Amino acid sequence: MSQYIAQAIANMYAALAEAAITCIKVSTVIPGSSLSISYPPSAGTFTNEAAAAISRIASILLNHGASLMLNVYSYFAYAADTDFISLDYALLRPGAPSAGDQNLEYDNIFDGMVDAFYAALEKINQPGLTVAVTESGWPTAGNEPITSPENAETYNRNLLNHVEEGRGTPRRPSQPLDVYFFAMFNEDLKQAGIEQHWGFFYPNMQPVYSFWQCP
């Protein structure tokens, strides 16, 4: 399917242009699995299959001033390597031990994951393309004690504060980043485990934890 995405995006832009619509951007989302190397961030590299597809997509997006969309899940990176990654580093807690990569310092894993994509884009000669994070979050249950309402609130609140500071990432310090939380609601029809527990709210509209200022 990946070989058709660039053409589909180009076709949608052509249709928008024919209708004289210039205010709508078209993009696509790529997952973390599109990287064959993600650590350290400077070594970020796309898989061979992804590199070919993303190179074509990136050229179109750059021509239209659109950002490439990423799914960035710090939880999965931490849960896969709790012996090496500290929870404070994964939750963006202030004062977490930093990690060096070339001449850059990382005080949280989220920035490192985003910068791995930037490094991968540079390797396919697309250094000018911006990115937006269209999914990030932390589950509240399903893999205790890593998953909990407290950890989810901490991660999401610290991520919100981090983004609102507008300082970008170590690799792109002057580039503010748009981030979207996943998800608004718990999804009780999904597979049992963490997949049911990413939401800010239960299906009955009650909050899983206090985050949004709701009446």
Contacts 24+ apart (CB under 8 A), 24-28: 25/64, 25/65, 25/66, 25/67, 26/64, 26/66, 27/61, 27/66, 27/67, 27/68, 27/69, 27/132, 28/57, 28/68, 28/69
**In the predicted model, what is the mean pLDDT of the chain?**
96
Which helix (H) or strand (E) covers residue 163, if one does? helix 149-164
Helix orientation angle between 48-63 and 2-18, rounded to the nearest 10 degrees: 10
Task: For the chain, give the percent of residues with pLDDT over 70.
Answer: 98
> Do 60 and 126 contact (CB within 8 A), yes or no?
no
Q: How many CA atoms lie within 13 A of 55 on its CB side?
A: 12
Of 105, 135, 144, 150, which one is the catalytic site residue? 135
Q: Please, which pLDDT band fits residue 23 given cuts at 50, 70 and 90?
A: very high
pLDDT average, residue stretch 172-200: 96
Residue 28: other Cβ atoms inside 10 A: 18
Separation CA 5–CA 174 (nearest Å): 30
What domains does the chain contain, in order, with CATH numbers? 2-196 (3.20.20.80)
**Structure letter (DSSP) for residue 107:** S
Is 164 noted as a catalytic residue in this protein?
Answer: no
- Can you tell me whether residue 133 is helix, strand or coil? strand
For CA atoms 56, 58, 61, 64, give the dihedral sign: negative
Confidence check: pLDDT of 214 > 70? no
Of 105, 150, 164, 195, which one is the catalytic site residue? 195
Q: What is the pLDDT of residues 37-49, one digit of tens each?
A: 999 999 999 999 9
Is 187 noted as a catalytic residue in this protein?
Answer: yes
pLDDT average, residue stretch 173-198: 95
Please give the pLDDT value at position 152.
99
Of 25, 49, 150, 190, which one is the catalytic site residue? 190
pLDDT average, residue stretch 94-116: 96
Q: Please, which pLDDT band fits residue 174 given cuts at 50, 70 and 90?
A: confident
Q: What is the pLDDT of residues 89-98, one digit of tens each?
A: 999 999 998 9
Separation CA 53–CA 3 (nearest Å): 6
Task: For the chain, give the percent of residues with pLDDT over 90.
Answer: 94
Nearest to residue 117, comparing CAs of 207, 9, 41, 66? 41
- How much of the chain is helix, strand and coil, in % rounded to 5? 40, 15, 45
